[in-house]
Amino acid sequence: MSLRVRRAGQADAAAITAIYNHYVTSSIATFEEEPVGAHEIARRMGATRTAWWVAERDGEVLGYAYGDEFKSRSAYRFSLEVSVYLHHERQGAGIGTALYERLFEEMRAGGYHLAIAGISLPNSASIALHEKFGMEKVAHFHEVGYKLGGWVDVGYWQCRL
């Protein structure tokens, strides 16, 4: 069956949680350090600026993406920070591209001006995905986080929508 991208619903919270918690516990992709529950993911889903999008094949959720406020001050209201997470065994199959196509389409239709992505470094796959969507590196914070026994840099990419 082909890949299907659709709006996520509350019923997807458990699958999204499983994908996300893999990165929480075993990678620097997120600076969250304690696993979260499905109830917390469901709360986050209801609190973001855009829809959460999931990619699925044969009923299995393979990844998700969303956009949320970059900062809370009102002048930032036309800028969104984007996030995408893929099942760790399903990377490199075009899933991230399919999710971002749908998310970026929604952001443009919603009148947003700028997409921003923070990427923990190194992460060549994430950089390639974001640059595929016209994002350019605009900042680099050295040793801004400490996770899994080491200091982690974060770069920021952005593009006009």
Tell me the two tokens of residue 28: 């620097």
Per-residue pLDDT reduced to its tens digit, 75-88: 999 999 999 999 99
Quickly tell me which residue has 């605009």 as its tokens.
138
Domain count, the chain: 1
Q: Could you give the dihedral angle defined by the CA atoms of residues 75, 40, 96 and 131, in that order, rounded to the nearest 10 degrees?
A: 30
Q: What is the pTM of this model?
A: 0.95
Tell me the CATH number at 44. Answer: 3.40.630.30
Tens of pLDDT, residue by residue over 52-100, are: 999 999 999 999 999 999 999 999 999 999 999 999 988 878 999 999 9
Domain that includes residue 88, residue range: 4-160
Residue 152 near residue 117, CB atoms below 8 Å: no
